[in-house]
Structure 1
């Protein structure tokens, strides 16, 4: 999967760009901008057709020369705003792109913590984890704590990153070489954006790690309505899970896990269906079910579960370990060397 944005031939090492989606953050945006340190090379504020004109407000009241205001003609959601910022940063030659919100919940002093592992070659993408310090969890509203725990479990299945937590955390950083390979037009643009990003990164086999952080809760107003998006989240997680399994285990590669999954499903479903059928038949007729029938159903269910658990174990251990941006650079170097050898031969 590739994007339509091409990165410059030479990105200056250490160029950190910050992307800030701006929608109804007028009361906090100036404080966020003021807290961004000198390690940041450029700042992109994306006014997502904000009714409060947060972009205009920042432009009129902040004199930081690093700041660029990007405006949307229509509201695209947080995902759409971030993709706009990614594309602008790639065009300008950023190496690492950090995304923070403009509502003051994310501490800009942590930007170096998020960019560091990427610049050091340890990761392609970093994201915040507010659950790392158990003492700090107590400060999190209970409804958010429960919701994030449930979403984390679903995201592990759909994204394949079993070692990550707090999937909806919007404090993230990405290497520009990896960002330019994202399918910008296909990534979810609204509240499913963060978890959909993890799915897309897994299909690229990018290395993702959590960065411990503390949440900051103030007088910001959330636009998220849980009752309106829960069914959407369940559907999209299920869709991404099926896509990921197909991409990773049947389209891109074929392993023993590719065989264990369908066999396990068939044995488990058939065994369960066979057992339920004969149990209901015995209930209607009053006749006992033959022991052989019971054993056949139980054996099929147990063997099927064993195959499925083996597949799950393989999937958990199949987390990307080698950074994508290092592989892309090595591929580029090899291509350049090959071209030079070809020119020398001619």
Structure 2
């Protein structure tokens, strides 16, 4: 236990035979349950966990009968924790890219009731730029910006970090069967938490690389799927939070921003068509495109500001 709270750590695992033992053996003593969810591994991951479970009663193995994705594996672990009434449930990867020494700081704000959900942030530290592969750092930064807009948690960053902790009340409030089943699960969780008005906090954690991990993220698969998931999540959040549950005029600002954005595209294309035909830009069309772009930007920025103000207490 930690601060009189029962603690479970969910470890989604897929083909992590080499490192899963290290993750379990270095788990802090205060952890009450280590829930490993084997997502239909083709190597000896499940066998390795079973061997460890014989000498460590904290270890619980749940095996999927088919590969369902890291998000689905996380949801399975969450369901176990919810059903067993675990006070605080953390999530750690099975590839040892999350330092166990950071776990007390991850779970403490949730245990003390300061917030409902914490997530590790590797970007707080100055050494992150030198340790994290550059393409992943840049991609993470872009997705973090998009996630701020989609989730409404403007104060959090490093959206792709899966090193998290969540309280039992939040687990009970969220539809765990609807969680995004793949690598966008941290982003999806933030959107769902914001809809339910739970408090979220970033915690600085150490980035860990070059320990033998093999990334399962394929850029060509996530470059479109995660942004699309964020767009759908953003739309759902706008409807549920600002129309159904509590109407807010920022809906009009976002709506007008989108309308003027499409007008900007149409007018810009039309202007360049005339440029190709007549050799010059039509002045009225060009002015209209500029006015439409400025209007779109102003309405969108005001909508973001309203959203930021509305959610400023969810820290």
Instruction: Say if 2:274 and 2:281, in contact at 8 Å, map to a contact too.
Output: no
Instruction: Report the Cα offset of residue 246 of structure 1.
Output: 2.1
Q: Deviation digits for residues 47-98 of structure 1, max 9, x if unmatched?
A: 2221123132122135122111112122222111111111111222210000
Moved more, 55-64 or 15-24: 55-64
The TM-score normalised by the length of structure 2 is 0.88
Gaps of at least 5 residues in structure 1 are 1-11, 324-346
Q: How many residues align?
A: 311
1:190 counterpart (173, 177, 182): 182
Q: Distance in 1 between matches of 2:204 and 2:133?
A: 18
- Quote the residue 1:341 is aligned against: none
Give, in whole Å, the separation in 2 of the partners of 1:288 and 1:47.
Answer: 61
1:73 match: secondary structure: coil
RMSD: 2.6
**Counterpart of 2:96 in 1: which secondary structure?**
coil
Q: Partners in 2 of 1:259 and 1:296 — Cα distance? A: 21
Report how far residue 316 of structure 1 moved: 2.4
CA contact (8 A) 2:52 2:59 kept: no
Distance 2:80 2:67 in 1: 18
Aligned-partner Cα distance in 1 for 2:279–2:168: 68
Which residues in structure 2 correspond to 1:250-289 (within 5 Å)?
250-267=243-260, 269-270=262-263, 273=266, 277=270, 284=277
**Correspondence for 1:236 among 229, 235, 238:** 229
1:99 alignment partner in structure 2: 91
Q: Which residue of 1 aligns with 2:121?
A: 129
Match of 2:8 in 1: 17
1:32 and 2:32 matched = no
Distance 2:268 2:78 in 1: 54
CA distance in 1, matches of 2:265, 2:67: 48
C-alpha distance in 2 between matches for 1:284 and 1:61: 74
Q: Which residue does 2:198 correspond to in 1?
A: 206
SS in 2 for 1:180: helix
Distance 2:19 2:112 in 1: 32
* Deviates most, 30-39 or 280-289: 280-289
Larger radius of gyration: 1
Judged with a 3 Å threshold, the aligned counterparts in structure 2 of structure 1 residues 274 and 90 are, in CA distance, closer, same or farther, namely closer
The alignment's TM-score, normalised by the length of structure 1, stands at: 0.81
Q: Deviations over 1:241-262 (max 9, x none)?
A: 2222222222222223223233
SS in 2 for 1:240: helix
- Kept in 2, the 8 Å contact 1:18–1:100? The answer is yes
What secondary structure is seen at the aligned counterpart in 1 of 2:198? coil
- Where 1:121 maps in the other structure, the secondary structure is coil
- Quick check: 43-52 or 299-308, which moved more? 299-308
- Taking the aligned partners of 1:288 and 1:55, their CA distance within structure 2 comes to 66
From 143, 151, 154, the counterpart of 1:162: 154
